[in-house]
Structure 1
Amino acid sequence: MFATEQGRDALLLRTTVSKKTPISLVPDPVEGVRLPEEQGGLPPRIAEYLARHEVPSPCLIVDVDIIEHNYVSLNRALPLAKIYYAVKANPAREVVARLAALGSHFDTASPNEIDLCLELGVPASRVSYGNTIKKQADIASAYTKGVRLFAFDSAEELEKIAHVAPDASVYCRVLMLCAGAEWPLSRKFGCTLEMARDLLRKARDLGLDPYGVSFHVGSQQTDLHQWDIALGQTADLFAQLKSDGIELRMLNLGGGFPARYRARVNPVEAYAEAVKIALVRRFGHDIPEIIIEPGRSIAGDSGVIQAEVVLTAHKGDEDGRRWVYLDIGKFSGLAETMDEAIKYRFMTPHDGGETVPVVIAGPTCDSADILYEKTPYRMPARLKAGDKVLILSTGAYTTTYSAVNFNGFAPLETICI
């Protein structure tokens, strides 16, 4: 926590943004990293790679330099926070290794993700087991390997941790409504604030270290005010527990920072400013240790999927839209098109010409494998079977959603450059 008024004033100074000062939509580049000319554009190194190499379809190509750029940019914008990269966003060894070399911490959801981090030389002290739904044997395994930081959101999970990970540091995830998020994370994760207070007292009584609280305002959050709402609620919880004799030391803000999909988004600096201002407003001089768990904002814009048009067809229905079937769909990496939540951008060889309204679907024999039907999409009228299509900002939550062998299709391949 800030021990002096000068420390708080320094943070206040860093969070002050003049209304007359425009905020660039592209962060200052890390030296040597080449970024798209426009936010959401095709990364230059990926364009060059596709021009020079035969790439299987579908395939995800990731520019690891952009991973580094996004990490460093976030670290610069929000220096008071420790970054725990959400491994589930993209667990490619090249991605994790680059972030490990940069000093990142890691948020893990399974024993395999923990093992990956440890194999790549990440100290167990830089690993958090952030899944609130864990087998007791997996908790014990992580503890044996040196992991000491565990999330929970129920009495039953807390008791499992106490049984096999004595003296571990634990943090309780509280429930948020996730208004403004394109990919909400409410209901399944988190507990009420009242329950969190009881559980953290129980953690103390069980001999664990009640280290802190976490929340998640929803993935791809578009409303910057949501962090202020969440921090207001958690600040009250900190104060209540302090009156119970429990001094919480850590606040985990989760993720929510965006990638660039169909709609333009605020730059990471704007998100960081919103968080810093809210922290000062809600915690004043007593800002605890801050953790963030970005995944999408680190990996999303680093990747492009090359896919292929399998078929274009008309069905004779009243709306007359053309169906475009790709060789990738919900079950091979694009699961976040569920309910048409995440809206990807597409590039084709015929961009710039006449376009027609389309329904975009995947290749499998499953009627759920439709990517966009309600959302209005248009594609070139000249698009035909065999054409290559690029799907932008697909570096996060694609390979990890890809089925192993649904309908006999191979998992989504990754090439890191």
Structure 2
Amino acid sequence: MYLNATDFVGRAAFDRTARMDGFVASTAFDRPTLVIDSDLVAENFRALRAGLGNAAIHYAVKANPAPQIVALLAGLGCRFDAASRAEIELCLAQGAAPAHVSFGNTIKRERDIAFAHEAGLTLFAADAEEELEKIARNAPGADIYLRLIVEPTGADWPLTRKFGCARDRALPLLRYAAELGLTPRGLSFHVGSQTREAAMWAPTLDQIAAVWHAARAEGIALDLLNIGGGFPAAYGGALAHPTSYAADVLSLVTERFGAVPHLMAEPGRAMVADAGQIAAEVLLVSRKSDDDLHRWVYLDIGRFSGLAETEGEMIRYQIATARDGEETGPCILAGPSCDSVDVLYERRPVALPLSLRAGDRVVIRDCGAYTSSYASVGFNGFPPLDVVVI
């Protein structure tokens, strides 16, 4: 459920998160609730745009599809990367121009391709012959970009298996797209989620540049490069400022590709992660035995209700409580459902106050990305996240 907190106004200048902190502290929630500060979303967009120069920023809608966020970004001139008909419909309903929405999923239903084409979308992703054939049948003459597989380069969460084609298949697929009457415009890739340093992009860009220059040398007039996502969020760690990071990535791109006529980027996490925090509640604190070294702290939110990215303990959310400053001890953090995999952090226990009790409020920070969009519709009867945009 999406709500507007229009009655909460004003902004403290001393802290980027002060408005969220104040709203959460002064509000009673009867279920886990994600609070998003729209000003921070706008600030993050402007910071990335300042570093990426003339690149077209396509917000990855899957990161957080709150209609208020989409409408805000559309008004700021942002474009959108949509993965489904529902995301396309959302973008168009919130004011995005069809030409500013790309259908970036390489796995699409034929009828959804037809819908997108009829709605005015012109740019589609593909990575296989059959996908090109589907696009040609349902969006004749469409522009396409080909997604390539890249080798892992140190990202926290490599994305190298499910999407993309091998680089040695790129030129045959580009030629085939042209034979089908499509317009092969360019290449895309994903460097990996949470690529913490801009320098990590260099090996991936080298791989893509080799294909790009080979295609152009063969007479395939590529003019579009989609550098995808990978722009990181801090999650309590130290990162370069988004503008500096983006500028360094742009410099690496320019070194290898020159002036690309149409450069795209698809940030999602970096746009919304630090603009959100979840208000949650402790349900139980227990020990499994008298000599257990760790407490178990169970929250009213878990992996099925928004915290899916704790899978493998890849994303380490920062947690604040009203008891911070008191003595702490290690604990295993888990969700409320009757599923044994609903454990958030066990390999690396979390230090939380020893005085923590059932009923205490906890605030999970930097979780504006991939939380509400991952929440189930109600596994085990536990509600999905409410979302409040302030």
Shared fold, TM over 0.5: yes
Q: How many residues align?
A: 381
- Partner residue, 2:105: 131
Aligned to 1:200: 174
Q: How does 1:145-294 map to 2 (within 5 A)?
A: 145-284=119-258, 286-294=259-267
| Matched letter for residue 69 of structure 2 | V
Q: What does residue 7 of structure 2 align with?
A: none
* Equivalent residue, structure 2, for 1:68: 42
Matched, 1:84 2:84: no
Amino acid paired to 2:111: A
- 1:44 aligns to what? 18
DSSP-derived class of the 2:156 partner: strand
Whole-Å separation in 2 of the counterparts to 1:160 and 1:120: 28
Shift of 1:237: 1.2
- Indicate the residue corresponding to 1:413 in structure 2: 386
Task: Please state how far the C-alpha of 1:277 moved relative to its aligned partner.
Answer: 2.1
**Which residue in 2 is equivalent to 1:19?**
none
- Which of 369, 373, 382 does residue 396 from structure 1 map onto? 369
- C-alpha separation in 2, matches of 1:51 and 1:410: 21
1:322 corresponds to: 295
Tell me the CA shift for residue 46 of structure 1.
Answer: 1.1
For residue 88 of structure 2, the aligned residue among 111, 114, 126 is 114
Asked if the contact 1:124–1:145 (Cα under 8 Å) also holds between the matched residues in 2, the reply is yes
* Equivalent of residue 330 in structure 2, options 349, 357, 368: 357
Q: CA deviation at 1:288?
A: 3.5
Gaps of 5+ in 1: 1-31
Secondary structure of 2:159's aligned partner:
coil
Which position in structure 2 is the counterpart of 1:298? 271
Aligned residue for 2:115?
A: 141
**Offset at residue 192 of structure 1 (A):** 1.2
Q: Is the 8 A contact 1:174 1:190 kept in 2?
A: yes
CA distance in 2, matches of 1:33, 1:158: 49
Tell me: CA distance 1:35–1:112, structure 2 relative to 1, closer, same or farther (3 Å): farther
Unmatched 5+ stretches in structure 2: 1-9
Map of 1:370 onto structure 2: 343
| RMSD of Structure 2 on Structure 1 (CA) | 1.6
Preserved contact between residue 42 and residue 72 of structure 2 (Cα < 8 Å): yes
Contact persistence 1:183–1:342 (CA under 8 A): no
Query: Match of 1:299, as an amino acid?
Result: V
CA distance in 2, matches of 1:159, 1:102: 35
Q: 1:357 to 1:340 in 2, by over 3 A?
A: same
Aligned residue identity for 2:280: A
Aligned equivalents of 1:215, 1:35: Cα separation in 2: 38
SS of 1:181 mapped into structure 2: coil
2:356 is the alignment partner of 1:383: yes
Q: Indicate the larger mover: 260-269 or 116-125.
A: 260-269
Q: Is the 8 A contact 2:153 2:204 kept in 1?
A: no
**3-state SS of the aligned residue for 1:248?**
coil
The answer to whether the Cα contact below 8 Å between 1:227 and 1:274 also exists between their aligned partners in 2 is no
Relative to structure 1, the CA distance from residue 317 to residue 366 in structure 2 (aligned partners, 3 Å threshold; closer, same or farther) is farther
Secondary structure, in 3 states, of the residue corresponding to 1:201? helix
**Aligned with 1:220: secondary structure?**
coil
CA distance in 1, matches of 2:260, 2:374: 36
Distance 2:374 2:237 in 1: 23
- In 2, Cα distance between equivalents of 1:317 and 1:204: 70
Q: 1:182 aligns to what SS in structure 2?
A: coil
Cα distance, 1:318 vs structure 2: 5.9
Partner in structure 1 of residue 316 of structure 2: 343
> Contact 1:33/1:69 (CA < 8 Å) preserved in 2?
no
Is the CA contact (8 Å cut-off) linking 2:34 and 2:386 kept in structure 1? yes
Whole-Å Cα distance in 2 between the matches of residues 371 and 43 of structure 1? 24
SS of equivalent residue, structure 1 residue 161: helix
Secondary structure of the corresponding residue to residue 291 of structure 1: strand
Counterpart Cα distance in 2 of 1:162 and 1:35: 53
CA separation in 1, counterparts of 2:122 and 2:257? 26
Paired residue for 2:281, among 308, 315, 326? 308
Deviation at 1:210, TM superposition (A): 0.3
Structure 1 segments of 4+ aligned residues over 4 angstroms from their partners: 32-36
SS at 1:332 equivalent: coil
Q: Is the 8 A contact 1:88 1:400 kept in 2?
A: yes
Does the aligned pair in 1 maintain the 2:177–2:183 contact within 8 Å?
Answer: yes
Q: Aligned with 2:194: secondary structure?
A: strand
